[in-house]
Structure 1
Amino acid sequence: DHFKAINDGFGHEAGDAVLVQFADLVRSSTRKGDRFFRLGGEEFALLLPGADLDALRDITEHLRASVERAVRCGDRPVTISIGATPLAAGESASSWLSRADSAMYLAKGEGRNRVIVVDSDGQVPPRELR
């Protein structure tokens, strides 16, 4: 969250250090077959083959909490907003990414430092909004 503020306030070297901490945390928190990509800026994609909605919720919430606890810029905690959704059979990557992006912006709009998981129809289960 607010990654541009880290770069602007602390410099790009500090921003790079945050990205390295984040990548290391993701690598240590995921399985060997999972795939992690930087889409640009402060947006990333994490492919979790075989993960259903409950697994997506558990994994992404663990990742969010781990970042808040372990990733720092100086003495300040770093937080992330996560939008997650399953990839439907036969679905295009752009459709899937668009749905995940919408979920991420919903997480940001709900106050940041949170996870929103939507189903393959883009519906938010009621328990996701708190």
Structure 2
Amino acid sequence: MPLIYVIGDGDNIRQRMEQQLLYGKLDECKKVSEAITAGMRCVNDVITARKGWEVVFCGGDDILVKVCASDYDPNLIRKAIDEFERCSKSTICFGSASSLQEAYLNLRRAKSFGVGILVCETEKSTQ
């Protein structure tokens, strides 16, 4: 059965953390970390609520999901993007495709277009 891989990565999180670290603002680092953790929990909850979607890993501001192609729905990813922003006050990009390598390339494409973007093989466009 063909699979679709979905890779997500929070937008500009490292830069936000580095900026706080460089100025010794550990309390701010903690706040950012807690917000991102809450956001990823929301993303994980959205995805695992859908039958057939399997989270391979979810840590930091990254997530990898696999799903049977017949169960793939880009609207679920858009919902995850919205939930991440609602829960963390940050944004996240996703790339999806039938190969892990192409999904990663689509993630990189999404990040090159901006923040809170999905690039998926099935649509060949940004969302």
Provide the TM-score with structure 1 as the length reference.
0.66
The size of the alignment, in residue pairs, is 105
Q: Is the contact between residue 7 and residue 14 of structure 1 (CA under 8 Å) also seen in structure 2?
A: no
Give, as a single letter, the amino acid of the residue that structure 2 aligns with 1:14.
K
Tell me, in whole angstroms, the C-alpha distance in 2 between the residues paired with 1:111 and 1:71.
20
Q: CA deviation at 1:15?
A: 4.3
Runs of 4+ displaced beyond 4 Å: none
Question: Which of 88, 113, 119 is 1:116 aligned to?
Answer: 119
Change (3 A) 1:129 1:23: closer
The percentage of counterpart residues that share the same residue type is 16
Note the residue ranges of structure 2 that are not aligned, 5 or more in a row: 1-10, 21-27
Query: CA 1:32/1:15 → structure 2, altered by over 3 Å: closer, same or farther?
Result: farther
Say whether residues 1:83 and 2:95 are aligned partners.
Answer: yes
RMSD over equivalenced CA pairs, Å:
2.4
Structure 2 CA distance for partners of 1:51 and 1:113, relative to 1, 3 Å: same
Q: Which residue of 2 aligns with 1:99?
A: 102
Query: Residue 6 of structure 2 corresponds to which residue in structure 1?
Result: none
SS in 2 for 1:81: strand
Partner of 1:91: none
The TM-score, its normalising length taken from structure 2, stands at 0.67
Deviation, structure 1 residue 61: 1.0
